[in-house]
Amino acid sequence: MILILPENHNPDIIKTEPRLQSAGYRTCMFKTSRGSVCTILNADASGVERLRSLDLNASPAPQDVPYVLASRNIKDTGTEIDVGHDVTIGGSALCVIAGPCSIESESQIMEAAETVKISGASILRGGAFKPRSSPYAFQGMGIDGLRLLRKAGERYRIPIITEVLDQDDIQVVEEYSDIIQIGARNCQNFSLLKKVGRTRKPVLLKRGMMVTIEEFLLSAEYLLSEGNLNVILCERGIRTFETETRNTLDISAVPVLKQRTHLPVIVDPSHAAGTWKLIHPLSLAAVAAGADGLMVEMHPHPENALCDGKQSLRPDRFIALMESIAPMANLVGRSLQGRYYTATSVTAGPVST
Ligand code: PEP
Ligand code: MN
């Protein structure tokens, strides 16, 4: 049961009241325009009664949709998530995440990071633990890859994101990465979601390829209900009968999600398309449809990539994409978050904004 507390309640009572703490309640404070939200899990009738006896003036949260905390019923302003290095996702400025499918070497991830920085993108991506369809395909560099990704993020002063595949790796991914990615294949791995929901790093949740919008929001609800309120949703294409593309980008999911949830929504055109040739039009469509950002695969040498080279943009093509996103963002009343740098000044700071 989820209860909403009025704006003027004393938040300390939730943390300090032993009758609440000992009853197996889990609480999370959620600043909303209608009051703070208190999440109460496993509260049986007597538990709810006990809460009533504290005279907190709590009222039940609207239950007209099952994803209570993700819903706009509970928070009607968009959530803006701070991911570090002055980068946010979900505000009026679009945020672009780019980088290779997998981290392969120090020189590869450094080159990718430099392209991210000079292009006006904001976040560096790179997989260290890869969910490959074949057990014989490159599985990622693991912790060595995480170290290289972090080194690149620190050198270029940009936040980094990487996927966690296994519950055993949550701690190390949380330690190294600014954002924890949950991939499409784990979108409904509920025990992983619960554990990642207990971390304090922002989480990017990708839509599963066979997952409806409501199921997607319920997966986000698993993260929120464990107390992690910094959840970013990513539409990355779903399975349909169509074979011309790797997946079908569900562009309608963007406005539908924006109407249903206060969480930021971004689009990954790369895994939807399966070919770099479609990244440009799909990116423009995503921005036009109201996405808060993009996640694009970009590799310094896609022809040599160990994973997803076919759908990875070359750095020059990625820079051209960034140049055409900016006017599209302006057309829909948004700006582009990243600042422009020249290749020689990347470590020295911005040359123009
Ligand atoms: C990825 O982003 O590297 C990835 C594996 O994507 P998805 O989970 O969407 O397939
Ligand atoms: Mn990939």
Q: What pLDDT, in 10s, does the model give residues 297-345?
A: 999 999 999 999 999 999 999 999 999 999 999 999 999 997 665 555 5
Q: Which amino acid is at 111?
A: E
| DSSP β-ladder status, 36-39 and 2-5 | antiparallel
User: Which two three-digit tokens encode residue 9?
Assistant: 């309640």
Which pTM value belongs to this model? 0.93
Residue carrying structure tokens 């000044």: 345
Among 224, 178, 184, residue whose Cα is nearest residue 202 = 178
Range of the domain at 184: 81-345
pLDDT at 35: 73
Give Cβ neighbours of residue 315 (< 8 Å, ≥ 6 apart): 111, 112, 115, 119, 298, 300
> CA of 269: how far to CAs of 55, 244, 246, 275, in Å?
50, 14, 10, 9
Q: Average pLDDT, stretch 242-257? A: 98
Q: Which CATH number belongs to the domain containing residue 28 in this structure?
A: 3.30.70
In a shared domain, residues 56 and 101: no
Mark whether 115 and 21 lie in a shared domain: no
204: Cα within 13 Å, side-chain hemisphere = 32
Over residues 79-102, the pLDDT tens digits come to: 999 999 999 999 999 999 999 999
Residue 69 resides in a domain: no
Residues 230, 246: Cα–Cα separation, whole Å: 29
Q: Both 152 and 253 in a single domain?
A: yes
Among residues 30, 60, 90, the one where a domain terminates is: 60
- What's the gap in Å between 130 CA and the centre of ligand 2? 8
SS3 98: strand
Check if 205 has its Cβ closer than 6 Å to any atom of ligand 1. no
Domain membership of residue 76 (yes or no) is no
Is there a contact between 127 and 120 (Cβ–Cβ < 8 Å)? Answer: no
Indicate which CATH number applies to the domain containing 118.
3.20.20.70
Rounded CA-CA distance 135/186 in Å is 17
Q: Strand pairing partners for 261?
A: 71
* Test site for ligand 1: of 162, 173, 181, most ligand atoms within 8 A of the Cβ: 181
79 token code pair: 């959530």
The reply to whether 65 falls in a domain is no
**Whether 113 and 229 share a structural domain:** yes
Domains in the chain: how many in total? 2
Same domain, 315 and 198: yes
Q: Please give the number of the atom of ligand 1 that sits closest to the Cα of 237.
A: 9
| Whether residue 119 sits in one domain with residue 34 | no
Look at strands 179-182 and 160-163 and give their pairing: parallel
Closest CA to 4 of 51, 77, 74: 74
Considering the domain boundaries, does residue 73 fall inside one? no
Kindly state the average pLDDT of the residues 238-262.
98
Locate 70 and state its tokens: 């993700």
Say if residue 43 is in the same domain as residue 11. Answer: yes
> Ligand 1 in contact with 236 (CB < 6 A)?
yes
Residue 218 lies in a domain: yes
Is position 104 within any domain?
A: yes
Q: Is the CB of 101 under 6 A from ligand 1?
A: yes
Q: Alpha-carbon distance 307 to 134, whole Å? A: 12
Residue 143 lies in a domain: yes
- Nearest-atom index, ligand 1, CA of 127: 3
Is 114 inside a domain boundary? yes
